[in-house]
Chains A and B, each alone.
Chain A
Amino acid sequence: MSVFTKDLVCQQAVELVTDYLEDVLSRRERRAFESHLEACDGCVAFVEQVREVLVVSGTVGPEDLDPATLDGLVALYREHRDDPT
């Protein structure tokens, strides 16, 4: 993403957050982004919010699944586990 990075404003900084977290900013962009964060609590909070979203996104379990679907698949499993093709 090419953004004019000298004296980044918040509205530009939020567009760089994913590339920042993925560590693909150019050295110049990264420097501009980090020096903006040093001076901006709002953008620090924004990055923190995104990190929090990522933590929650990564938690997934059987509770997110319809029990009937699970039972159907387990039935499929019982039926086929002994007949490898």
Chain B
Amino acid sequence: MLLEKLLAGDEDAFRELVGRYHTSLVRVARYHVDSDAAAEDVAQDTWLAVVRGVHRFEGRSSLKTWLFKILVNRARTAGDRDRKQVPIDPTLAGPTVAASRFDAKGAWTDPPTPFTELVEQHLDDAPVAAAVHAAIRDLPEPQQAVVTLRDVQGLSTYEVSALLGLTEGNVRVILHRGRAKVREALEGLVRGGRR
């Protein structure tokens, strides 16, 4: 177990943990603070708290959830602006798929194709993964934080809502907009690769 290795002072276990979570920690911190540098600081601060506090971790939540809870507490404290005063209007982000893809009745004029076939024909997996992660990195907040927690790290919608102080309904709406943009980016890459 990673946790046991960590408790035993295993450096490789720590490396693995950082590799798995650091980028996501920074992205979620960015939701609360104003700059990338401040988000890096909060993430680093979180690792310090983990190193110092891992022996007190009681295992009542997953290590992952514990990590993000520490992060969010620190990010809120460090937050330059009061997020509560920035109302989130998740409906402002436009349609899931551009209206130009549908006819007047709302049926596809240019229907999508599953990515797998095209990916297999034209690309290996590495650029696909890179494109997806770049698209997530380019999402505006709060979509970036929500997609990172829900889809990259696999937290439940409930956990995401608790961590970010959003309703589950809003988490799903924000998630939907974020996923739509990532899908669109991948479709752009795949269609580009086909030409």
- Residues of chain A having any CB pair with chain B under 8 Å: 1, 9-12, 14-15, 17-19, 22, 24, 40-43, 45-46, 48-50, 52-54, 56-65, 69-70, 72-74, 76-78, 80-85
Contacts and interface: CB of A to CB of B under 8 A. Distances in A.
A78 B10 CA distance: 10
Given A11-B106, A49-B112, A77 B51 contact: yes
Q: Is the interface of A mostly helix, strand, loop or mixed?
A: helix
Contact of A11 (B14, B102, B186): B102
Contacts of A69: 22, 40
Interface string B24-58: 10000000000000001000100110011101000
B122 interface: no
B14 A77 contact: yes
Contact of A14 (B97, B152, B186): B97
Most chain A C-beta atoms within 10 Å of own C-beta, residue among B15, B40, B52, B108 = B108
A18 B106 contact: no
Interface residues of B, number: 54
B2 interface: no
B35 to A, nearest CB: 16
5 contacts: A1-B173, A10-B108, A14-B97, A62-B20, A74-B11
A53 B11 contact: no
A51 to B, nearest CB: 9
A9 to B, nearest CB: 3
B88 interface: no
